[in-house]
Homo-oligomer: A and B are copies of this chain.
Amino acid sequence: MMDDTRTRLVESALRLLREEGLDAVTLRAVGDLTGLSRTAPYRHFTDKTALLAALAVRVIADLSAHVAAAISQEAGRRDRLRAFYLSYVKYATAHREEYRLVFASEFLAGHHPELEEAIDQVTTALGMAGTGEGPVPKAQLMALLSTAHGLAELAVAGQLAHKGIGYGDIVDVLVAPYGG
C-alpha cells in the first residue's frame, strides 16, 4: 500500500491544524512539513478540498472515538445521554480549530463520500451506545447529533460564555426530559 506518503501528508496537515490553526493549512506548508515540495499533495489528492476532507475524516474519527469512550463508561440512559453531549462539546471546545474544519467540511460532504461515511460512524457509535432496549430510530439519532453539533458550535463561538452560561447548564436542560 503506497498510501504511506498520503498518510504522512494528512498527518502533517493535522499537525499544522493543531499548532497553527486552519488558515495555516496551506498546500505549500503541508508539502514542506512532509519534507516534500509544494505541489506534492497533488499526487495524492485531486484538490485542496480533498486533502481537507481526508483530514476531516481523521478528526471525526478522533471525535467519534472520544465520544464512544465517554458513553461506554455510563450505564443509565440519562447518564449516557449526558455523557454524549458533554464529551462531544468538550472535544469541540478543546480542539477549536479541528472542529472548525469539521464545520467547514460538512458543506463538502456531498462531494466526498468518505466524509459522509465518517459522519455515519458517529451516528452508529451513538446508536450502539443506546439503552440496550433495541435499536434507536435513525431520526432520533440524528436529532441527538444535531443538538450536540449545534451546541458545540455555540460553545466554540463563545456565544455561551458571553451570556454567562456554561454548556453544562444547557446539557441539563437537554437531558431533563429523560428519566434516569
Residues of chain A whose beta carbon lies under 8 Å from any beta carbon of chain B: 100, 103-104, 106-107, 109-110, 116, 119, 137-140, 142-143, 145-154, 156-160, 162-163, 165, 169-170, 172-174, 177
- The reply to whether B165 and A107 contact each other, CB–CB distance below 8 Å, is no
Q: Are A139 and B109 in contact (CB under 8 A)?
A: no
How many identical chains are in the complex? 2
Tell me the dominant secondary structure on chain A's binding face. helix
B156 touches A107 (CB 8 A): yes
Please, which residues of chain B bring their CB within 8 A of the CB of A174? 143
Residues of B within 8 A of A173 (CB): 137, 139-140, 143
User: Which 8 A-B residue pairings sit nearest by Cβ, starting from the closest?
Assistant: A150-B150, A149-B150, A146-B150, A146-B151, A106-B157, A177-B177, A139-B169, A147-B147
